[in-house]
A = this chain, B = another copy of it.
Amino acid sequence: MTKLAIVYHSGYGHTAKVAEHVATGARSVSGVEVDVLKADDLASAEEGPWDTLAAADGIIFGSPTYMGSSSSVFKAFSEASSKIWMNGGWRDKIAAGFTNSGSLAGDKLNTLQELMILAGQHGMIWANYGAFPGYNTSTSDFEGAWNRAGHMVGLGTQALTDLPADQTPDQADLETSEDFGKRIGEITRRWVAGKS
């Protein structure tokens, strides 16, 4: 089996919803098991499901974008992982990332870059999303387009700030989330298969 873990923080439920759909996509890949963990439970190096992460072949990081970067809860997890960094514990695992915010662009790229740097520190292998951007005049139904805002290094979704999590992000973003999860599942499986 290929083991994938998703570690996310969600302030108001929107990012949690995205995480679920990423998990659904990843689980659709034959031979891939997915654990979904809350960054809230990994705020210190001393407790929390660190063993699950140690056993994972790949880790998908997810955080809302607050003031242009990851949330402090996610950052506490990131910081707590420095003990693992010292021993190279996540070296050569697959990594990927997603973020959600109220705007379509909204400096979400900066959060994704922060997640890429975290993966870089750990010496992980970053799986870019790279899905073709979905929106132009010929795909005029904005709602139905995948990767509609055109985020390439990871998954970027939009939750309208004046709607609760049961109404946003929209269907296009949730389907994109599944597509993203499927891609990371496939990449991780291939990476595991290549181990000599």
- 8 A Cβ contacts from A115-143 to B: 116-133, 135-138
A163–B138 CA distance with the chains assembled, in angstroms: 10
A138 touches B114 (CB 8 A): no
Residue of A69, A76, A85, A108 contacting most chain B CB atoms (<10 Å): A69
Count contacts on A: residues with CB < 8 A to the other chain: 72
Task: Determine whether the beta carbon of B107 is less than 8 Å from that of A150.
Answer: yes
Is A106's beta carbon under 8 Å from chain B? yes
Most buried by B among A79, A121, A125, A195: A121
Is A24's CB within 8 Å of the partner chain B?
no
Chain A interface (Cβ < 8 Å from any Cβ of B): 66-73, 75-76, 78-79, 81-82, 85, 88, 91-92, 101-110, 113-114, 116-133, 135-138, 148-154, 156, 160-163, 187, 190-196
CB closest residue in chain B, given A149 = B105
Residue of B whose beta carbon sits closest to that of A187: B125
Choose from B67, B103, B137, B156 the contact partner of A81 (Cβ within 8 Å). B67
**What are 28 A-B interface contacts by the 8 Å CB criterion?**
A66-B79, A67-B78, A67-B79, A68-B114, A69-B114, A69-B117, A69-B118, A72-B73, A88-B130, A92-B187, A102-B136, A104-B104, A104-B135, A104-B149, A105-B109, A105-B150, A107-B121, A114-B114, A122-B128, A123-B129, A124-B130, A125-B125, A126-B126, A126-B128, A136-B161, A190-B194, A190-B195, A193-B193
